[in-house]
């Protein structure tokens, strides 16, 4: 029930009016039939749930099913239900409905459903052909963020997560806060007036007694006294001054009065009752202001706003409060925290750590939860984050707390979840490497700046890629108990490849001092210049006396040559075999030819095109050890070499 590209309602549910004006102009040619007309009217009134109902009724007989499916998808998107929009965007495109933004939002809907590869392909296509500067910029950001996705997915799970099934309903529950042994939260439950933007009720603030067990969290629930107003959205309460001061968000009263429709209000607990809420001076009359959170000392209030001068949709701001209760001019937290996307649902933990929800940073879904660490956002990873929206985190203590999510498997639009940090000490693996190149005849290798390096799994599938920095340095995060290859290639050079593994490298728990330990492995990738007709010895490819068959130890080494040929598909080689000096010359030439052909046959059996490799036997004409006497010296002469004879342009 959230949207990423337009300002949200109090907690993503308050939809700004006027969004449909441009939409109506672009879709002036309305579909036939009374259902479509009614759907258009309700869409224009931002009653998206009713619009969807009418569109679906008119879809079966519509002459333009692609356009109607697109309108259904847009209604879901505009009411913050992007995941539900996916099949309708697809149906629109399959019906040859050609609206450029449909391609972009279809990609975003795929991501919201965890279909990351499909989403990437869709968004890459949009980057190539899209003409809308804003959407193209967002698509570029999403494609760039995709490179961090596998890092987020592979992170060790630091939390256990549990749905508060006894408390959640088929409505939405979100924004947890603990006050006086009660869990305060916001919800669209209740039998009151419906908010037709999404078909749920208006949001109110509720409270229930806190229990030790998430499973038992389902006792009596009461509306928070003196705050909620019929026909308004009241949500996202935060408290300070030992619970005697409350700031919350209110909106959608139905009249604009020159303001945007969501603002922050303050109320004080006096004489056993909450005072009449007053609008805060820090609100911007032209902006959406919501998502408040006090610092632990109550001297700073953080909030989200889409006011002019920000970096994206919604940004995080802060304001300080003096001893007289006056709020300072709000200050944007800047580009280290805010992005071109939306940042909201800010929270400050008891230890002072800032948490936010963002759809503009690399994440698993639409909104992900982030911890601000050394001034930079760090994704909390799964299972706290999911392909859905994950937001509104609250720490009960240093190890447990609650958050909100509309992930698959919940009971309603948004549900409350509990989390507990795992006590097991965690290990994160990284590999840090440097890329070099070595030219023929050079005394030493040199670094290669900005060189592309690819991380592959043990099956050769590309996992991630990164460009080395100006000093040739690169880094990847790794899974535990996994084997990888680091690969880098450059025209005119043999592809560099190095295997690296984390198997068996996790220290015992008793040896880990910190809650999280980073283990950093090192790698060196050297790309050697390809020089035609230069012989390269294949080490440890030996033959038994007077034999041409491939020994098991030789097969291991020939597999490395197969890898070289696969990594360098444009080269063709001559593979040569050499014998020792024992025996008749003509026999040795024949033996070496048979040995070379045997090696070539083995390589071809591994899938290498036979046109890329020829066999040549040199007999005893080119010994490594002249006048060999010992068996070890004779075996060195019984060697195999290869040289590049052709490079495809």
pLDDT for res 283: 94
Q: Which of 148-157, 159-168, 600-609 has the lowest mean pLDDT?
A: 148-157
Compute the distance between CA of residue 618 and CA of residue 577 in angstroms, rounded to an integer.
6
- Judge whether 295 lies within some domain: yes
**Distance of alpha carbon 476 from its chain centroid, rounded?**
15
Q: What is the pLDDT of residues 550-576, one digit of tens each?
A: 888 888 889 999 999 999 999 999 999
Residue 516 contacts by C-beta under 8 Å, 6 or more apart in sequence?
158, 425, 426, 427, 428
Check if the beta carbon of residue 136 is closer than 8 Å to that of residue 162: no
Distance of CA 169 to the CA centre of its chain: 29
DSSP secondary structure letter of residue 239: E
Count how many domains the chain has: 3
Q: How high is the pLDDT of residue 623?
A: 84
CA-to-CA distance for 505 and 499, rounded, in angstroms?
15
* 31 in a structural domain: no
Residue 290 has pLDDT above 50, yes or no: yes
Using CA atoms, how far apart are residues 620 and 634, in angstroms rounded to an integer? 10
Burial 574-598 (b: 16+ CB within 10 A, else e): bbbbbbbbeeeeeebbbbbbbbbbb
CB 538 within 8 A of CB 640: yes
d(CA 537, CA 637): 11
In a domain, residue 326? The reply is yes
Identify whether 365 is part of a domain: yes
Please check whether residues 501 and 399 belong to one and the same domain: no
| Domain of residue 315, CATH code | 2.120.10.30
Cα–Cα–Cα angle for 114, 385, 13, rounded to 5 degrees: 85
For residues 376 and 247, membership in a common domain is answered with yes
Could you say which of 364, 393, 421 is where a domain stops?
421
> What pLDDT does 521 receive?
96
End-to-end CA distance of the chain: 54
Contact of 377 with 335, CB cutoff 8 Å: no
Bridge partners (DSSP) of residue 523 are 433
Residue percentage of the chain with pLDDT more than 70: 92
Verify that 271 and 231 share a domain, yes or no: yes
Name 106's Cβ contacts closer than 8 Å, sequence gap at least 6: 73, 86, 89, 90, 93, 122
- In this model, does residue 137 exceed pLDDT 70? yes
Contact status, residue 415 vs residue 188, Cβ threshold 8 Å:
no
| pLDDT of res. 253 | 56
Together in a domain, 392 and 470? no
Bond from prior residue into 383 cis (ω within 30 degrees of 0) = yes
Q: At what angle do helices 65-78 and 48-59 cross, to 10 degrees?
A: 160
The rounded percent of the chain whose pLDDT value lies above 90 is: 53
Residue 555: how many other CB atoms lie within 10 Å: 13
Band of residue 224 on the pLDDT scale cut at 50, 70, 90: confident
591-611 pLDDT, tens digit per residue, is: 889 889 999 999 999 999 999
How confident is the model over 415-420, as a mean pLDDT?
A: 94
Burial of 205 from C-beta contacts in 10 A (0-12 / 13-18 / 19+): buried
Q: Does 412 lie in the same domain as 442?
A: no
State the pLDDT at residue 28.
38
227-262 per-position pLDDT tens digit: 888 888 999 999 999 999 999 999 865 444 444 579
Looking at residue 141, what is its pLDDT?
85
The residues near 327 (Cβ < 8 Å, ≥ 6 apart) are 280, 281, 282, 301, 319, 320, 321
- Domain for residue 74, yes or no? no
pLDDT digits (tens, 9 = 90+) for 433-489: 999 999 988 889 999 999 999 999 988 999 889 999 999 999 999 988 899 999 999
Q: What is the predicted pLDDT for the residue at 252?
A: 65
Contact 135, 102 (CB under 8 A): no
Give the model's pLDDT for residue 22. Answer: 38
Residues 542 and 617 in one domain: yes
Are residues 165 and 280 both part of a single domain?
A: yes
Contacts of 589 (CB under 8 A, 6+ apart): 617, 618, 619
Q: Are residues 489 and 574 in the same domain?
A: no
Query: What tokens appear for 504 in the block?
Result: 């068996």
Question: What CATH number has the domain bearing residue 585?
Answer: 3.30.1330.60
Highest averaged pLDDT of the listed ranges 16-25, 85-94, 417-426:
85-94
Give CA–CA dist 88/69, Å, rounded. Answer: 5
Segment 380-385 mean pLDDT: 91
Greatest CA separation for the chain: 114
Last residue of a domain, one of 403, 421, 439: 421
What confidence category does residue 8 fall into, taking pLDDT thresholds of 50, 70 and 90? very low
pLDDT band for position 80 (50/70/90)? confident
Q: Which range of residues forms the domain containing residue 430?
A: 426-528
Q: Is residue 489 part of a domain?
A: yes
Lowest mean pLDDT among 30-39, 100-109, 324-333: 30-39
Q: Is 81 exposed, middle or buried (0-12, 13-18, 19+ CB in 10 A)?
A: buried
Region of residue 59 (phi > 0: left; psi between -120 and 50: alpha; otherwise: beta):
alpha
Residue 9 has what pLDDT? 39
Instruction: Report phi then psi at 343, rounded to 5.
Output: -120, 130
pLDDT digits (tens, 9 = 90+) for 55-72: 999 888 888 899 999 999
Give the residue ranges of DSSP H helices in 176-259: none
Question: Are 248 and 279 spatial neighbours (Cβ–Cβ below 8 Å)?
Answer: no
DSSP, residue by residue, 559-570: HHHHHHHHH-TT
Task: List the structure tokens of 155.
Answer: 């992170």
Q: Looking at residue 462, which CATH number applies to its domain?
A: 2.60.40.10
Structural domain contains residue 92: no
Shared-domain flag, residues 592 and 545: yes
User: Exposed, middle or buried, 196 (CB in 10 Å: 0-12/13-18/19+)?
Assistant: middle
- Any idea which residue has 């102009």 for tokens? 25
- Using the structure block, give the residue that is written with the tokens 């050890």: 625
The answer to the question of residue 147 being in a domain is no
Who wins on pLDDT, 22 or 111? 111
Are 600 and 542 in the same domain?
Answer: yes
Q: How large is the average pLDDT for residues 37-60? A: 89
Report the candidate in 139, 149, 79 with the shortest Cα–Cα distance to residue 114.
149
Burial 42-51 (b: 16+ CB within 10 A, else e): bbeebbbbbb
User: Are residues 290 and 11 in contact, defined by beta-carbon separation less than 8 angstroms?
Assistant: yes
Answer with the one of 394, 421, 448 that is the final residue of a domain.
421
Cβ neighbours for 641, distance < 8 A, ≥ 6 positions apart: 535, 536, 537, 538, 575, 576, 578
550 and 505, same structural domain? Answer: no
State how beta strands 390-395 and 400-405 pair: antiparallel
| pLDDT category of residue 18 using cuts at 50, 70 and 90 | very low
Q: 48 and 16 in contact (C-beta within 8 Å)?
A: no
Integer Cα distance of 563 and 608 in angstroms: 10
pLDDT in tens, 611-643: 999 999 888 778 888 887 887 888 777 778 899
Question: Structure tokens of 414?
Answer: 């948004």
pLDDT at 155: 67
Q: Are 338 and 482 within one domain?
A: no
Nearest partner of 303 among 228, 257, 237, judged by Cα: 237
């Amino acid at each position: 029930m959230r949207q990423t590209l337009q300002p949200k309602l109090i907690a993503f549910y308050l939809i700004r009016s006027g969004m449909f004006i441009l939409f109506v102009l672009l879709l002036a040619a309305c579909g036939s039939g009374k259902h479509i007309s009614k759907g258009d009217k309700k869409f224009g009134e931002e009653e998206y749930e009713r619009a969807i109902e009418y569109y679906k009724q008119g879809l079966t007989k519509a002459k333009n099913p692609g356009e109607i499916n697109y309108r259904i998808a847009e209604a879901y998107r505009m009411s913050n239900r992007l995941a539900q929009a996916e099949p309708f965007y697809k149906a629109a495109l399959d019906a040859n409905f050609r609206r450029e933004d449909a391609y972009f939002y279809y990609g975003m809907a795929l991501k919201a459903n965890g279909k990351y590869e499909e989403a990437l392909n869709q968004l890459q296509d949009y980057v190539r052909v899209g003409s809308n500067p804003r959407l193209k910029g967002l698509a570029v950001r999403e494609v760039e963020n995709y490179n961090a996705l596998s890092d987020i997915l592979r992170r060790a799970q630091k939390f256990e997560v549990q749905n508060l099934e006894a408390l959640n309903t088929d409505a939405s529950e979100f924004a947890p806060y603990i006050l006086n042994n009660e869990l305060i939260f916001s919800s669209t439950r209740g039998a009151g007036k419906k908010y037709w933007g999404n078909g749920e009720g208006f949001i109110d603030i509720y409270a229930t007694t806190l229990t030790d067990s998430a499973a038992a969290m389902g006792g009596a629930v009461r509306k928070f006294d003196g705050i909620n107003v019929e026909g308004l959205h009241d949500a996202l309460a935060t408290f300070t001054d030992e619970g005697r001061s409350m700031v919350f968000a209110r909106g959608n009263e139905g009249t604009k009065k020159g303001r945007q429709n969501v603002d922050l209000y303050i109320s004080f607990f006096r004489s056993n009752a909450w005072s009449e809420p007053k609008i805060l001076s820090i609100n911007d009359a032209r902006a959406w202001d919501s998502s408040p959170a006090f610092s632990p000392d109550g001297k700073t209030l953080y909030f989200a706003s889409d006011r002019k001068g920000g970096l994206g949709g919604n940004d995080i701001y802060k304001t300080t409060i003096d001893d007289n209760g006056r709020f300072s001019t709000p200050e944007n937290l800047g580009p280290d925290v805010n992005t071109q996307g939306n940042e909201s649902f800010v929270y400050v933990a008891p230890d002072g750590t800032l948490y936010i929800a963002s759809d503009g940073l690399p994440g698993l879904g639409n909104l992900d939860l982030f911890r601000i660490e050394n001034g930079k956002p760090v994704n909390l990873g799964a299972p706290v984050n999911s392909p859905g929206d994950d937001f509104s985190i609250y720490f009960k203590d240093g190890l447990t707390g609650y958050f909100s999510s509309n992930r698959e498997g919940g009971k309603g639009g948004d549900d409350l979840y509990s989390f507990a940090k795992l006590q097991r000490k965690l290990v994160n693996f990284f590999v840090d490497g440097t890329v070099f190149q070595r030219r023929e005849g050079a005394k030493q290798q040199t670094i290669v700046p900005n060189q592309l390096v690819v991380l592959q799994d043990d099956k050769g599938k590309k996992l991630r890629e990164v460009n080395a920095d100006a000093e040739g340095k690169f880094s990847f995060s790794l899974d535990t108990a996994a084997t990888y290859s680091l690969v880098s290639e450059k025209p005119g050079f043999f592809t560099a490849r190095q295997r690296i593994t984390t198997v068996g490298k996790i220290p015992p728990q008793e040896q880990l001092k910190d809650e999280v330990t980073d283990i950093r492995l090192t790698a060196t990738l050297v790309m050697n210049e390809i020089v035609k007709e230069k012989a390269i010895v294949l080490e440890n490819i030996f033959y038994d006396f007077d034999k041409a068959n491939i020994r098991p130890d030789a097969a291991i080494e020939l597999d490395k040559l197969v890898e070289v040929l696969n990594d360098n598909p444009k080269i063709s080689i001559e593979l040569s075999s050499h014998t020792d000096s024992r025996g008749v010359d003509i026999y040795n030439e024949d033996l070496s030819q048979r040995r070379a052909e045997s090696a070539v046959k083995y390589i071809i059996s591994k899938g290498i095109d036979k046109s890329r490799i020829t066999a040549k036997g040199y007999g005893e004409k080119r010994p490594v050890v002249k006048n060999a006497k010992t068996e070890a010296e004779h075996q060195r002469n019984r060697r195999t070499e290869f040289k590049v004879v052709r490079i495809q342009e």
